């Protein structure tokens, strides 16, 4: 007992240690058909807003196809690869978007959309995913978050006033692996939970902070007030997890993902409580990246997706943290040959302890490292830089090289759109050495 009390007293000054997995954007497609092409999203049944012609493929892609969401076989392959790396990790963090992009558009057998039948497909999707992790990791804590595609309506969790029923379903489906979920979950799908080694994971429902959220502002304010209280009350080391990061989405047209109000409030809270925050994790973008926050050394670390719907290779990360040192190994599954590839952050970029400010400076000053980082961000090797460039930036590598460099680097440096635009105006090719 005395030892335990001493540990509690020293908790604020000691860093805990451990190992855990992070993955995101599983987008399990319950209607996936391996004999159908990506032109019809690998579906043999029509979508309400999909292509008129359902096209079969010449090959059978049981474990996944580029530009389609994930079959259950792909999710199984990812889970068993994780098991091979660490059979009993401290915890597994899944950052949201479990549902496929088109689940709510699936026609019923009658040829019409049937909301009640579709709701059952949504629930079965969660049950199937949970079954995979219960089978592969029966002794590990699995912590789930809600993403923007994880409801009956995108960027919301509820429809027709059935929010309580939907959250009750998620709570009961997740609690066996997640553990004691805070009662705030019933307020809007956000909660905090403790790991076995006394890390506190604050799981935000970042839909409420998105510029696409159409619910009441009071709901968003309630969550931000709850988040503030959670940080105020925390004496433990904290990991902040969310699906949608607050900064800039650079694909197609650059846009700020959160509204200004909640971006500013979030940043202020991180600045106040920076001493107790170990990591901030996000997904949503489907490629790996990071966002630097002003006046703090804690970046938002963004993870590539399991779903290959944007042409990326599926992937996940395995984190290690010890005292003042942290590192990760990034894993990618090359879908063409079903071969796993990996790299260790500290070795590939020659930077210790996930220092993203140092990485940013390195990317600015070394075009070779920048190209390598962009290729790895979507799960490919440097030899595939032209393909990676197109996937990540939706730009041509040859004709849009300088614009692409400026866009990507500014998205790492600035999280507000106004400052991003100023950065873009200042950025030019002279900032990049050896550009070829």
Coil, strand or helix: which one is 347? helix
CA atoms in the 13 A half-sphere facing the CB of 90:
18
pLDDT for the residue numbered 159:
47
pLDDT of 25 above 90: yes
Least confident of 137-146, 197-206, 378-387, 394-403: 394-403
- pLDDT score for 80: 98
Q: What angle do CA 117, 147, 50 make, to 5 degrees?
A: 50
- From CA 42, how far away is CA 61, in angstroms rounded? 9
| Confidence (pLDDT) at 161 | 61
Q: What whole-number distance in Å separates Cα of residue 318 and Cα of residue 298?
A: 19
Indicate the average pLDDT of the chain: 88
What residues does 256 pair with on adjacent strands? 248
The more confident residue out of 306 and 4 is 306
SS3 content of the chain, % helix, strand, coil (to 5): 40, 20, 40
Please state, in angstroms and rounded to a whole number, the distance separating the CA atoms of residues 379 and 313. Answer: 5
- Is it the case that residue 12 has pLDDT exceeding 50? no
Are residues 394 and 254 in contact, defined by beta-carbon separation less than 8 angstroms?
no
pLDDT tens readout for residues 279-308: 999 999 999 999 999 999 999 999 999 999
> What are the residues whose beta carbons fall under 8 Å from the beta carbon of 52, sequence distance 6 or more?
none
Write down the pLDDT at residue 68: 96
The Cα–Cα gap between 173 and 80 comes to 21
Q: Say which range, 5-19, 61-75, 104-118, has the weakest mean pLDDT.
A: 5-19
Tens of pLDDT, residue by residue over 356-400, are 999 999 999 999 999 999 999 999 999 999 999 999 998 999 888
How far is Cα 73 from Cα 76, in angstroms, rounded to an integer? 5
Cα(374)–Cα(386) distance, rounded to whole angstroms?
A: 10
Enumerate the β-bridge partners of residue 322. 325
CATH architecture of the domain formed by 16-360: 4-Layer Sandwich (3.60)
């Amino acid at each position: 007992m005395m030892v335990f009390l001493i540990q509690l007293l020293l908790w604020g000054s000691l860093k805990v240690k451990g190992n855990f997995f992070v993955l995101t954007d599983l987008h399990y497609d319950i209607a996936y058909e391996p004999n159908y092409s990506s032109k019809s999203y690998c579906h043999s049944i029509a979508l309400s807003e999909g292509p008129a012609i359902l096209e079969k493929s010449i090959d059978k892609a049981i474990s996944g196809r580029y530009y389609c969401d994930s079959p259950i076989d792909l999710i199984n392959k990812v889970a068993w690869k994780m098991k091979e790396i660490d059979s009993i990790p401290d915890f597994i963090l899944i950052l949201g978007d479990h549902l496929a992009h088109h689940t709510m558009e699936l026609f019923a057998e009658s040829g019409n959309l049937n909301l009640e039948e579709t709701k059952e497909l949504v629930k079965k999707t969660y049950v199937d995913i949970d079954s995979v992790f219960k089978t592969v990791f029966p002794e590990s804590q699995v912590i789930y978050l809600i993403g923007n595609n994880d409801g009956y309506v995108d960027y919301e969790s509820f429809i027709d006033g059935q929010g309580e029923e939907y959250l009750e379903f998620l709570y009961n489906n997740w609690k066996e692996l997640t553990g004691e979920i805070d009662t705030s979950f019933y307020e809007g799908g956000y909660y905090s939970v403790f790991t076995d080694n006394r890390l506190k994971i604050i799981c935000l429902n970042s839909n409420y902070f998105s510029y696409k959220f159409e619910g009441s502002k009071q709901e968003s304010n309630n969550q931000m007030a709850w988040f503030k209280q959670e940080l105020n009350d925390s004496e433990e080391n904290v990991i902040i997890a969310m699906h949608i990061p607050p900064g800039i989405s650079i694909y197609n047209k650059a846009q700020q993902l959160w509204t200004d109000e909640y971006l500013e409030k979030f940043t202020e809270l991180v600045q106040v409580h920076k001493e107790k925050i170990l990591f901030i994790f996000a997904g949503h973008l489907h490629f790996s990246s990071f966002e630097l926050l002003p006046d703090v050394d804690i970046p938002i670390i963004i993870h590539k997706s399991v779903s290959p719907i944007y042409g990326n290779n599926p992937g996940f990360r395995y984190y290690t943290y010890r005292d003042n040192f942290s590192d990760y190994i990034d894993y990618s599954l090359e879908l063409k040959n079903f071969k796993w590839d990996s790299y260790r952050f500290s070795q590939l970029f020659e930077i210790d302890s996930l220092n993203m400010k140092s990485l940013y400076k390195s990317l600015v000053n070394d075009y070779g490292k920048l190209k390598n980082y962009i290729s790895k961000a979507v799960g490919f090797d440097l030899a595939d830089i032209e393909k990676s460039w197109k996937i990540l930036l939706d730009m041509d590598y040859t004709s849009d090289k300088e614009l692409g460099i400026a866009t990507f680097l500014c998205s790492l440096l600035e999280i507000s759109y106004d400052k991003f635009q100023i950065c873009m105006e200042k950025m030019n090719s002279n900032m990049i050495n050896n550009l070829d």
